[in-house]
A and B are shown apart, each in its own frame.
Chain A
Amino acid sequence: MREASRDRIKAFLTLLPSMILIGIFVYGFIGNTIWTSMTDWGGMGALALEPEKNFIGLDNYINLFTGFLGGGFRQDLVNAVYYSVMLLAGAVGLGMFIAILLDQKPKGEDVLRTIFLYPMSLSFIVSGTIWRWLLAPRGGVNILPTYAGLEPMTFDWLSSQSAILVFNWQDILRILLYAASLVLILIGLAKLRKDTRKAFKWLVPGIAAGLFVWVFGDLVPDAYMMEEEHGFNLATIGIIMATIWQYSGYTMALYLAGFNGISQDLRDAAMLDGASTTGYYRHVAIPMLKPITISAVIILSHISLKMFDLIFAMTGPDNGQTGHPALNMYLTTFRGNEFATGAAIAIVLFLIAATFIVPYLISQYRERGRR
Chain B
Amino acid sequence: MKTRTITPGTILLYGTLTVLALFFLMPAYMAVVTALKLPQDISLPTSWELPPVFNWASFSEAIELLKPNFINSIILTITATIGSTVLGSLNGYVFSKWKFAGSEVVFTLFLFGMFIPYQVILIPLFQTLRAMNLYGGLPGLILAHIVYGLPITSLIFRNFYAQIPTALIESARLDGAGFFSIYLRIVFPLSIPGFVVTSLWQFTQIWNEFLWGICLTRHADNPITVGLAQLAGGQAVSWNLPMAGSIMAAVPVLAIYIFLGRYFIRGLLAGSVKE
Residue of B nearest to A3 (CB): B178
- Pick the most buried of A49, A122, A350: most chain B CB atoms within 10 A of its CB: A122
B94 near A26 (CB under 8 angstroms)? no
Could you say which residues of chain A place their CB within 8 Å of the CB of B30?
130, 133-134, 140
B54 within 8 A of A: no
Q: How large is the interface on A (under 10, 10 to 19, 20 to 34, 35 or more residues)?
A: 35 or more
- Pick the most buried of B20, B117, B128: most chain A CB atoms within 10 A of its CB: B117
Can you list, as one digit per residue, whether each of B168-205 has a CB less than 8 Å from chain A (1) or not (0)? 00000100101110000000000000000000000010
Could you say which residues of chain B place their CB within 8 Å of the CB of A4?
173
A5 to chain B, nearest CB (A): 11
B258 within 8 A of A: yes
B254 near A121 (CB under 8 angstroms)? yes
* Contacting residue for A346 out of B17, B93, B105, B117, CB 8 A: B117
Which residues 98-124 in A have Cβ within 8 Å of B in the complex? Answer: 98, 101-102, 104, 106, 112, 114-124
Could you say which residues of chain A place their CB within 8 Å of the CB of B130?
49
B166 within 8 A of A: no
Known A-B contacts A7-B178, A257-B269; the reply to A129 vs B232 at CB < 8 A is yes
Can you list, as one digit per residue, whether each of A309-346 has a CB less than 8 Å from chain B (1) or not (0)? 10011001000000001100110011000010011011
Could you say which residues of chain B place their CB within 8 Å of the CB of A334?
214-215
Q: How far is the CA of A326 from the CA of B233 in the complex (A)?
A: 19
Interface of A, helix, strand, loop or mixed by DSSP: helix
Which residues 279-324 in A have Cβ within 8 Å of B in the complex? Answer: 291-292, 295-296, 298-299, 302, 305-306, 308-309, 312-313, 316
Residue of B nearest to A329 (CB): B119
B134 within 8 A of A: no
Could you say which residues of chain B place their CB within 8 Å of the CB of A7?
98, 173, 178-179
A116 near B27 (CB under 8 angstroms)? no
Which residues 154-208 in A have Cβ within 8 Å of B in the complex? Answer: none
B116 near A122 (CB under 8 angstroms)? no
Q: How far is the CA of A131 from the CA of B100 in the complex (A)?
A: 49
Which residues 41-80 in B have Cβ within 8 Å of A in the complex? Answer: 43-45, 47-48
Interface of B, helix, strand, loop or mixed by DSSP: helix
Residue of B nearest to A356 (CB): B115
Could you say which residues of chain A place their CB within 8 Å of the CB of B275?
368
Which residues 222-263 in A have Cβ within 8 Å of B in the complex? Answer: 245, 249-250, 253-254, 257
Could you say which residues of chain B place their CB within 8 Å of the CB of A21?
147, 150
Could you say which residues of chain B place their CB within 8 Å of the CB of A140?
30, 44, 47-48
* Contacting residue for A121 out of B16, B48, B180, B256, CB 8 A: B256
B119 near A349 (CB under 8 angstroms)? yes
Could you say which residues of chain B place their CB within 8 Å of the CB of A365?
104-105, 108
B229 near A369 (CB under 8 angstroms)? no
A42 to chain B, nearest CB (A): 11
Could you say which residues of chain B place their CB within 8 Å of the CB of A369?
104
Could you say which residues of chain A place their CB within 8 Å of the CB of B125?
25, 29
Which residues 135-165 in A have Cβ within 8 Å of B in the complex? Answer: 136-140, 143-144, 147
- Pick the most buried of B24, B104, B207: most chain A CB atoms within 10 A of its CB: B24
Residue of B nearest to A108 (CB): B17
Known A-B contacts A11-B100, A296-B272, A368-B104; the reply to A330 vs B119 at CB < 8 A is yes
* Contacting residue for A305 out of B90, B117, B256, CB 8 A: B117
B253 within 8 A of A: yes
B211 near A29 (CB under 8 angstroms)? no
Could you say which residues of chain B place their CB within 8 Å of the CB of A257?
265, 269
Could you say which residues of chain B place their CB within 8 Å of the CB of A349?
117, 119-120
Known A-B contacts A33-B120, A364-B108; the reply to A15 vs B91 at CB < 8 A is yes
* Contacting residue for A312 out of B98, B176, B210, B256, CB 8 A: B210
B150 near A121 (CB under 8 angstroms)? no
A29 near B124 (CB under 8 angstroms)? yes
Known A-B contacts A118-B254, A126-B228, A349-B119; the reply to A25 vs B147 at CB < 8 A is yes
A245 near B27 (CB under 8 angstroms)? yes
B117 near A350 (CB under 8 angstroms)? yes
B124 near A357 (CB under 8 angstroms)? no
Q: How far is the CA of A316 from the CA of B100 in the complex (A)?
A: 48
Q: How far is the CA of A238 from the CA of B87 in the complex (A)?
A: 40
Could you say which residues of chain B place their CB within 8 Å of the CB of A296?
272
Could you say which residues of chain B place their CB within 8 Å of the CB of A353?
115-117
Residue of B nearest to A296 (CB): B272
A234 to chain B, nearest CB (A): 20
A130 near B31 (CB under 8 angstroms)? yes
B273 near A295 (CB under 8 angstroms)? yes
B91 near A306 (CB under 8 angstroms)? no
A133 near B242 (CB under 8 angstroms)? yes
B233 to chain A, nearest CB (A): 7
B38 within 8 A of A: no
A84 within 8 A of B: no
Could you say which residues of chain B place their CB within 8 Å of the CB of A12?
94, 100
| 5 other A-B residue contacts (CB within 8 Å) besides A312-B210, A353-B115 | A125-B232, A139-B45, A298-B273, A325-B119, A350-B120
30 pairs across A/B with beta carbons < 8 Å?
A: A7-B173, A15-B90, A15-B91, A15-B103, A18-B150, A22-B109, A22-B151, A25-B121, A25-B125, A25-B144, A27-B109, A30-B116, A30-B121, A33-B123, A106-B14, A112-B17, A122-B253, A125-B232, A129-B229, A130-B31, A133-B47, A136-B44, A137-B44, A138-B45, A139-B47, A245-B23, A292-B272, A309-B210, A343-B123, A364-B108
**B residues at A contact (CB < 8 Å):** 13-14, 16-17, 20-21, 23-28, 30-31, 34, 43-45, 47-48, 87, 90-91, 93-95, 98, 100, 103-106, 108-113, 115-125, 128, 130, 144, 147-148, 150-151, 154, 173, 176, 178-180, 204, 207-211, 214-215, 225, 228-229, 232-233, 239, 242-243, 245-246, 249-250, 253-254, 256-258, 261, 264-265, 268-269, 271-275
Query: What are the 6 closest A-B residue pairs judged by CB atoms, nearest first?
Result: A139-B44, A123-B208, A11-B98, A29-B121, A121-B257, A350-B120
